[in-house]
């Protein structure tokens, strides 16, 4: 009975059937939009079909119990079949090299006999050289009138299939660890805001099981609006969020080139533990928790406050930063002037020839190239007005001995961070490495064995070269032909 | 150098390379029937020249993006990926042709290249060099796309080889009735498509779904029992060649029209309205008649063509071996392509696998070729079954590459062409 189950579980037929079922099921998952709200499905397929599909788990197919079951079965199949085959492969690899016998001679792929004109010793010398040059690890067997060489290489390629399978299993293990102990959350943060907790969609599986069994207190707190909140043991602070845009000939285009948040990790006392400017492909990891730049939003009705840098023309190192809200005015001691922000615009560009500033419409208030119109006061009288902007193709009007630069508009946006903890990621990456190496070993390599038998007979010395390979046989035949030629070549060459 | 100049240079070079490949396609096709050795040599030369020009164009485009201050690998949208796909497939093909000394594959491989490039010209997709969206700005992009497309190209060659070995496998085409049956089925499918397309989106979807299931079931049947149903294998070959031939014909006509006055609107939407659904009845009828006639021609002449070619076609064993070698090259490449994509997704979004349709379809493709390798190595399958499986695998590749973007939605939306 046990052996029938074992045979069933190790069979390739089962593997193929499982893979086919998984493939076909996956197709369904790509045809039906996954994880949509229930209303969407009712509208799309009608009530009855939607109910039926929901019963089959089609709306979260890749996590449906039966899909996971098939995946697990595949894993079991992989384990059983590897366990079943590994010992014999290992034995084959560990088996000591033996001289060519008659039994072996019948099954070899290549066999050639050469009449050697030199002495027995010379033949031995050349054989050693040749096999070493071709990278074979060799063994020598001396008898009275005969010397046998046996060599092999590429034995590792027989392990390629196990490496690949181990890779798949590691990935599945890592995924399981991730599901049990990892979580994905979001953390929206306005500029200059900090938070000591994140929002989770669902609690990690393991604590969920433990708390439902009453063995552990849940680490999350239900939140009416956002699902669950989970406290962190540190604070996350968003210093700044900005969007950069691609430049073309006429200035900034509407195409974003980078979303970036300046993030700091703070402890209870407000001390900085880590900080980084994170962008979409460059997250921050702190104590196994990774913060990804995942989105942003505009704070409703926010006016923002504009930061400007005032710099002396004579001594550029002398500068002062001021933050001014639209409509407000601030006195700058460095230049003894009062700067008033008259108006702001989210997208402006300067015509390099005429110096005129053009203001563009934006659909959703994107701050593509913000510009501010300033009035400079000496006491109560306006000296001049000018426009500065984030990226200026020309030069703004600056008649006095200082310049004013646009730095940033504060308080307009909030950033959305994706927060992820995945303790299984190391295991998954180990699996990734194996699954990349395995097929290369298995499909490009080949376990090659070569035998060279040097015999003294009545006419002199005869040499038999025989070889076999477990894969890529045609390539091996060519290699052997070359080997034989080289052997002959060394003979004629002396 | 000037970015505008380099962009222009790359566009012209791509156009010239396209012409070279078109010429090669014609030469290889004529070579298949005529046995003239000179034609084969000429085809190889035009292909190599086209390849050299395309390589130049690729680097010119890369340089152009740097000169324009964008600085990115030209592998980031449908236009560039189709060009790179054709480049990889020609590269691998030339290596195969050189190594195995066979030219009879050329017609099939260059046929794929012609279709891809024709589609690229007609689809009205964006050809400008624009900056990447922030999510795509990663060093992983290059390795991910490179590995995937080299893999796809190897699978493409295996597909071409398998089409040839399916033809070789067809000893007889069955009785005349099976030809008529095939013709009848084809006519019925077209007619049903016409009826259901007029009944709204749901019916249209149901039609494609039903057709898909039917084809899948048939292919599965042929994989399992193909060696006993040679006439059906031949029927499959005929259907596939009809689709391919029909596409080539449409592409040729559309390209001629396009050259006289560049297309307005999306190719995707007017492909069928200028043929099967043309408002003008005679054109509509003509298109249908053309497809049916093409099928009949392929079906009735296929064996004859094969018999003419038989003398200088590689042996079925050799074809089988090339197909296997291509898949054992492509599968590790695809594996690494998927893995690099996965690592990239993890650094960008914090999830290495999110079951996005493109990911899922690449997994399905990976599964199919895994089955291929296991069936061959462990069960010793050969010949027809393997060839059908390879064809099925490449259909999955095509769907992963184009189908997902055209039909489904997801993260890899760079491929959309509306």
Tally of residues, chain A? 494
Do the domain assignments include residue B18?
Answer: no
CA-nearest of B358, B360, B341, B359 to B415 is B358
**Which residues pair with residue A282 across a beta bridge?**
A279
Of all residues in chain A, the one with the smallest CA distance to B129 is A248
SS3 label, residue B136: helix
* DSSP 8-state assignment for residue B311: G
Residues of B in contact with A444 (CB under 8 A): 328, 332
The label of the residue with tokens 């699996």 reads A431
Domain that holds residue B376: 72-415
Q: Say yes or no for a CB contact (<8 Å) between A281 and B348.
A: yes
Do the domain assignments include residue B30?
Answer: no
User: What's the token pair of residue B166?
Assistant: 């399916």
d(CA A145, CA B333): 51
User: What's the token pair of residue B215?
Assistant: 């084809």
Residues of B in contact with A201 (CB under 8 A): none
Q: Say yes or no for a CB contact (<8 Å) between B371 and A16.
A: yes
- Which of B352, B355, B364 lies nearest to residue A34, judging by beta carbons? B355
Name the phi and psi angles at B42, rounded to 5: -60, -40
Q: Say yes or no for a CB contact (<8 Å) between B404 and A258.
A: no
Do the domain assignments include residue B59?
Answer: no
Do the domain assignments include residue B83?
Answer: yes
How far apart are the CA of B64 and the nearest CA of chain A, in angstroms?
14
How far apart are the CA of A144 and the nearest CA of chain B, in angstroms?
43
d(CA B83, CA B50): 12
Predicted pLDDT at B255 = 72
User: What's the token pair of residue A40?
Assistant: 């969407």
Residues of B in contact with A256 (CB under 8 A): 133-134
d(CA B266, CA B33): 36
d(CA A146, CA A452): 11
In this structure, the number of other CB atoms found within 10 A of the CB of residue A180 comes to 15
Helices B201-225 and A12-31 cross at an angle (nearest 10°) of 170
d(CA B400, CA B156): 13
Predicted pLDDT at B408 = 65
> Which parts of chain A have pLDDT scores under 70?
1, 224-226, 490-494
d(CA A200, CA B303): 64
**Which residues pair with residue A402 across a beta bridge?**
A312
Q: Say yes or no for a CB contact (<8 Å) between B135 and A292.
A: no
Total domains in the fold of chain B: 1
Do the domain assignments include residue B40?
Answer: no
3-state secondary structure A336-399: CEEEEEEEEECEEEECCCCCCEEECCCCCCCCCECEEEEEEEECCEEEEEEEEECCCCCCCCCC
- Which of B134, B332, B336 lies nearest to residue A258, judging by beta carbons? B134
Residue contacts between A and B (CB atoms, under 8 Å): 107
d(CA A197, CA B42): 70
d(CA A392, CA A247): 11
Taking the CA atoms of A339, A343, A348 and A350 in sequence, report the sign of the dihedral they define: negative
Of all residues in chain B, the one with the smallest CA distance to A15 is B371
> Which parts of chain B have pLDDT scores under 70?
1, 123-126, 171-174, 176, 257-277, 407-418
Do the domain assignments include residue B65?
Answer: no
Tally of residues, chain B? 418
d(CA B26, CA B29): 5
Considering the entire predicted model, what is its pTM? 0.88
* DSSP 8-state assignment for residue A282: B
ipTM of the complex: 0.87
Residues of B in contact with A283 (CB under 8 A): 347, 350
């Amino acid at each position: 009975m046990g052996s029938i189950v074992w045979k069933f579980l190790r069979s390739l037929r089962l593997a193929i059937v499982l893979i086919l079922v998984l493939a076909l099921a996956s197709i369904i998952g790509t045809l039906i939009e996954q994880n949509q709200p229930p209303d969407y499905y009712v509208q799309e397929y009608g009530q009855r079909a939607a109910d039926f599909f929901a019963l089959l788990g089609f709306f979260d197919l890749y996590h449906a119990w039966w899909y996971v079951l098939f995946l697990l079965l595949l894993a079991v199949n992989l384990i059983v079949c590897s366990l079943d085959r590994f010992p014999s492969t290992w034995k084959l690899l560990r088996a000591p090299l033996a001289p060519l016998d008659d039994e072996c001679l019948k099954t070899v792929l290549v066999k050639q006999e050469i009449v050697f004109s030199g002495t027995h010793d010379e033949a031995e010398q050349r054989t050693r050289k040749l096999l070493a040059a071709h990278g074979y690890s060799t063994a020598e067997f001396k008898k009275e009138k005969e010397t046998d060489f046996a060599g092999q290489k590429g034995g590792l390629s027989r392990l390629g299939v196990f490496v690949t399978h181990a890779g798949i299993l590691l990935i599945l293990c890592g995924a399981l660890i991730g599901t049990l102990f990892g979580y994905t959350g979001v953390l929206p943060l306005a500029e200059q805001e900090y938070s000591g907790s994140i929002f989770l969609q669902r609690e990690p599986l393991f604590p969920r099981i433990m708390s439902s069994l009453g063995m552990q207190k849940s680490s999350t707190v239900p939140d009416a609006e956002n699902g669950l909140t989970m406290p962190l043991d540190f604070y996350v602070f968003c210093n700044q969020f900005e969007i950069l845009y691609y430049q073309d000939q006429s200035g900034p285009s509407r195409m974003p080139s980078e979303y970036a948040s300046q993030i700091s990790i703070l402890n209870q006392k407000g001390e900085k533990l880590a900080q980084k400017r994170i962008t979409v492909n460059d997250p921050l990891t702190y104590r196994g928790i990774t913060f990804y730049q995942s989105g942003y939003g505009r704070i409703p009705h926010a006016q923002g406050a504009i930061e400007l840098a005032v710099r002396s023309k004579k001594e550029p190192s002398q500068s002062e930063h001021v933050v001014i809200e639209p409509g407000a005015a601030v006195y700058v001691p460095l230049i003894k002037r009062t700067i008033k922000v008259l108006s702001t615009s989210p997208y402006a560009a300067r015509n390099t020839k005429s110096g005129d500033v053009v203001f563009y419409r934006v659909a959703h208030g994107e701050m593509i190239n913000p510009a501010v119109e300033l009035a400079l006061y000496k006491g109560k009288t306006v000296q001049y007005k000018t426009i500065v902007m984030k990226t200026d193709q020309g030069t703004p009007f600056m008649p006095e001995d200082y310049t004013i630069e646009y730095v940033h508009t504060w308080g307009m946006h909030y950033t959305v961070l994706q927060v992820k903890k995945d303790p299984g990621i190391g295991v998954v990456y180990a699996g990734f490495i194996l699954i990349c190496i395995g097929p290369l070993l298995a499909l490009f390599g080949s376990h090659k064995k070569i035998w060279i038998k040097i015999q003294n007979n009545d006419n002199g010395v005869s040499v038999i070269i025989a070889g076999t390979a477990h894969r890529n046989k045609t390539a091996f035949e060519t290699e052997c032909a070359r080997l034989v030629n080289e052997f002959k070549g060394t003979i004629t060459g002396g | 150098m000037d970015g505008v100049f380099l962009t222009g240079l790359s566009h012209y070079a791509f156009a010239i390379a396209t012409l070279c490949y078109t010429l090669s396609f014609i030469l290889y096709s004529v070579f298949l029937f005529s046995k003239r050795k000179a034609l084969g040599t000429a085809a190889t030369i035009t292909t190599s020249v086209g390849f050299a020009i395309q390589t130049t164009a690729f680097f010119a485009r890369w340089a152009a993006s740097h000169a324009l201050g964008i600085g990115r690998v030209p592998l980031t949208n449908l236009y560039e990926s189709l060009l790179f796909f054709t480049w990889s497939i020609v590269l691998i093909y030339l290596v195969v042709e050189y190594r195995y000394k066979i030219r009879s594959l050329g017609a099939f491989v260059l046929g794929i290249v012609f279709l891809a490039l024709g589609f690229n010209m007609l689809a009205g997709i964006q050809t400008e060099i624009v900056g990447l969206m922030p999510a795509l700005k990663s060093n992983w992009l290059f390795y991910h796309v490179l590995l995937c497309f080299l893999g796809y190209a190897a699978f493409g060659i295996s597909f071409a080889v398998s089409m040839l070995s399916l033809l070789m496998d067809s000893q007889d085409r069955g009785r005349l009735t099976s030809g008529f049956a095939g013709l009848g089925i084809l006519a019925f499918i077209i007619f049903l498509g016409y009826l259901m397309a007029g009944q709204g989106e749901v019916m249209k979807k149901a039609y494609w779904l039903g057709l898909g299931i039917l084809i899948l079931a048939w292919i599965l049947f042929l994989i399992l029992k193909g060696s006993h149903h040679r006439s059906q294998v031949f029927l499959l070959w005929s259907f596939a060649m009809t689709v391919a031939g029909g596409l080539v014909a449409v592409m040729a006509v559309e390209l001629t029209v396009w050259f006289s006055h560049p297309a307005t609107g999306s190719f995707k939407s007017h492909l069928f309205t200028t043929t099967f659904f043309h408002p003008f009845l005679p054109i509509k009828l003509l298109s249908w008649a053309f497809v049916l006639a093409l099928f009949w021609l392929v079906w009735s002449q296929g064996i004859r063509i094969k018999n003419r070619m038989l003398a200088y076609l590689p042996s079925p064993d050799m074809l089988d071996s090339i197909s296997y070698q291509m898949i054992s090259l492509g599968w590790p490449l695809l594996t690494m392509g998927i893995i690099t994509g996965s690592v990239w997704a993890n650094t960008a979004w914090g999830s290495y696998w999110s079951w996005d349709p493109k990911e899922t379809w690449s997994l399905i493709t990976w599964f199919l070729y895994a089955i291929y390798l296991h069936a061959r190595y462990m069960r010793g399958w050969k010949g027809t079954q393997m060839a059908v499986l390879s064809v099925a695998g490449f259909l999955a590749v095509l769907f992963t590459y184009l189908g997902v973007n055209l039909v489904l939605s997801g993260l890899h939306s760079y491929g959309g062409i509306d």
